[in-house]
A and B are shown apart, each in its own frame.
Chain A
């Protein structure tokens, strides 16, 4: 009986954990990026100066 309860609980734990992580990600996606982070991202994704002159 304890073995059955353990496997059922472990399976439920895994399902709840995955859904909770997804809900955390889904909630964070809607958060707007800060101005500093957006500037940093633009700086990082800008092509290097060498390619611009070529």
Chain B
């Protein structure tokens, strides 16, 4: 079973996810950023579900492993969709909604096919279909984090180029960029050093940062707040 530190981080993450939804409701931003808030709500429900499965079946049970990896893949796909809605906000005036949706769908299908190819290449003939499906969802999650990172980087570039000034939107995008890049870097580190034990603590801590940043953005920043994005660029433009 997880120790008290893991439980504390888990509880903190769930509490912060709840805070995001409450702050968004209180500041009338729930419908404006519907997909982001639905992701936080889903993440909270998944946390509760995981706790139920964990306490019922145990950490080493196959039920918990299946539930963990399947729910993680669903959450990652949902976060990917949330990122696409941020694209829709930024490119709102350009009327390219249809192309953005189509590109996002093609990219998601492409990532899924690539992940399937990787799993099929590395799996042996005797491997059960259940195990292969779990490996596929794990691979898909990892690859989607990297695709999410690249897409967020492109979106940040577009924000700088289009001189998007909405502070709340800028902070939501930047915090999502931190989240995706932190997870992608951690997964890559895990692949480089498979026996690294400390990664088990790092991922849940990173998981707390996104709801913390979003709760701050919804609570402290008004929707009308503006800033010059050129001042935020690391490389001066």
Query: Are B232 and A9 touching (Cβ within 8 A)?
Result: no
- For A27, give its contact among B149, B171, B185, B189 (CB under 8 Å): B171
In which size bucket is the chain A interface? 20 to 34
- For B231, give its contact among A10, A26, A30 (CB under 8 Å): A26
Residues of A contacting B: mostly: helix
Q: Taking the complex as formed, is A12 at the interface, i.e. its CB lies under 8 A from any CB of chain B?
A: yes
Query: Are B188 and A5 touching (Cβ within 8 A)?
Result: yes
Closest to B153 in A: A12
Give the complex CA separation of A4 and B18 in angstroms: 36
Query: Are A6 and B189 touching (Cβ within 8 A)?
Result: yes
Q: How many A-B residue pairs have CB under 8 A?
A: 75
Closest to B221 in A: A27
User: Smallest Cβ distance from A21 to chain B, in angstroms?
Assistant: 9
Q: Taking the complex as formed, is A38 at the interface, i.e. its CB lies under 8 A from any CB of chain B?
A: no
Choose, from B51-59, B67-75, B119-127, B175-183, the stretch at the interface: B175-183
Q: Taking the complex as formed, is B28 at the interface, i.e. its CB lies under 8 A from any CB of chain A?
A: no
Q: Taking the complex as formed, is B146 at the interface, i.e. its CB lies under 8 A from any CB of chain A?
A: yes
Q: Taking the complex as formed, is B167 at the interface, i.e. its CB lies under 8 A from any CB of chain A?
A: yes
Q: Taking the complex as formed, is B112 at the interface, i.e. its CB lies under 8 A from any CB of chain A?
A: no
A17 contact set on B, CB distance < 8 A: 178
Query: Are B181 and A16 touching (Cβ within 8 A)?
Result: yes
Query: Are A9 and B188 touching (Cβ within 8 A)?
Result: yes
Query: Are B156 and A26 touching (Cβ within 8 A)?
Result: no
Since A3-B188, A13-B185, A23-B227 are in contact, a sample of 20 more A-B pairs with Cβ atoms closer than 8 Å, ordered by chain A residue number, is A2-B189, A5-B185, A6-B188, A9-B181, A10-B181, A12-B177, A12-B181, A13-B178, A13-B181, A16-B152, A16-B181, A17-B178, A19-B156, A19-B233, A20-B177, A20-B178, A23-B171, A26-B228, A26-B231, A27-B221
